[in-house]
Amino acid sequence: MEGLRNLPSFGWWDLVDIAIVSVLIYEFLKLIKGTRAVQMALGSFLLVLLFYISRLAPLQTVNWLVRNVLVYVVFAAIVIFQSDIRRALAHFGRAPFFRYFAKPEGAEETIEEVVVAATMMAGHRTGAIIVVEREIGLRNYIESGIPLDAALTYDLLVTIFQPGSPLHDGAVIVQEGRVAAAACFLPLTVAPRFARDLGSRHRAAVGITEECDAVALVVSEETGHISLALDGRLERDLDAERLRARLEGLLLYGRPHRRSAPATVHEL
């Protein structure tokens, strides 16, 4: 009984502490599920396990080797998984709590102009890629293109993507209801689930949404189909009404993304 009296007290703050740690672990496991980080985590766990086994045995040579390897594993993980770490930090920054501090301004006008422009270009099979910034800034990608800082109108978007225009190659980035830049370079996705012959516009749209929470709209010049990329996934063959509804849900109300089937070459 004397030993039980010496046990530390357990209060509300301890419950909060455990709840926060549990949520962090749960979110971490969701982030690495199905990625190469799972193998890295298992490998690190085996190294740590081997380290403690070598201390208990004792295996002096193994212990020395593991201790020296573990020093470099941390730096190697940062270099190898820098994009995954960036994506994880961005994921936590998109938590519902923070969305209350980011109110869309002029989103209705932005949606309408983008929908009209996409529909017109789809009718003429004019290839285009339009990226709409949300909570995570796209400054690095804006600086890679030609700065415009122009009012967003459908005729401006259609003009930019005309085949004879010097700005038609690359992406247009929309920031706070304005065309921030055109001819922007975007990262191409390397996800194996996407077909190798997927068009560069579609791969760029998926690639940018793997890095941040932006919405990317693609018009195929080969089929005239409109696709929408979000969170590294692609929704295909959207008409004007479906596109408007999706953009309103994402830019006005912040609805969670409805998971779609992996893209195939048929969407080109």
pLDDT 10s digits, 102-152: 444 568 888 999 999 999 999 999 999 999 998 888 888 998 999 998 999
* In a domain? residue 63: yes
- CA neighbor of 32 nearest in space, from 21, 42, 17: 42
Instruction: Considering only CA atoms, give the Rg of the chain.
Output: 24
Give the burial string for 226-235 (b: 16+ CB within 10 Å, else e): bbbbbbbbbb
Flag whether pLDDT at 258 surpasses 90: no
* In a domain? residue 51: yes
- Do residues 183 and 262 both lie within one domain? yes
* In a domain? residue 76: yes
What's 115's domain CATH number?
Answer: 3.40.1700.10
- Do residues 56 and 113 both lie within one domain? no
Domain boundary residue, one of 69, 93, 117: 93
Total domain count for the chain?
A: 2
Amino acid at site 260: S
- Do residues 53 and 13 both lie within one domain? yes
- Do residues 58 and 184 both lie within one domain? no
Domain boundary residue, one of 61, 93, 125: 93
Cα–Cα distance between 235 and 229 in angstroms, integer? Answer: 6
- CA neighbor of 232 nearest in space, from 260, 256, 254: 260
- Do residues 71 and 133 both lie within one domain? no
Domain boundary residue, one of 58, 93, 128: 93
* Residue 175, domain extent: 107-267
- Do residues 170 and 133 both lie within one domain? yes
Over residues 60-76, mean pLDDT: 77
- Do residues 229 and 118 both lie within one domain? yes
| pTM over cut 0.85 | no
Sole residue written with tokens 């594993």: 73
**For 224, phi and psi rounded to 5 degrees?**
75, 10
Tokens of 90: 């961005």
**pLDDT tens digits, 27-57:** 777 666 655 666 777 777 787 788 788 888 7
Cα–Cα distance between 246 and 236 in angstroms, integer? Answer: 12
- Do residues 83 and 199 both lie within one domain? no
Calculate ∠ Cα 166-172-173, nearest 5°: 145
Tokens of 151: 């009012």
Give the residue with greater pLDDT, 214 vs 10.
214
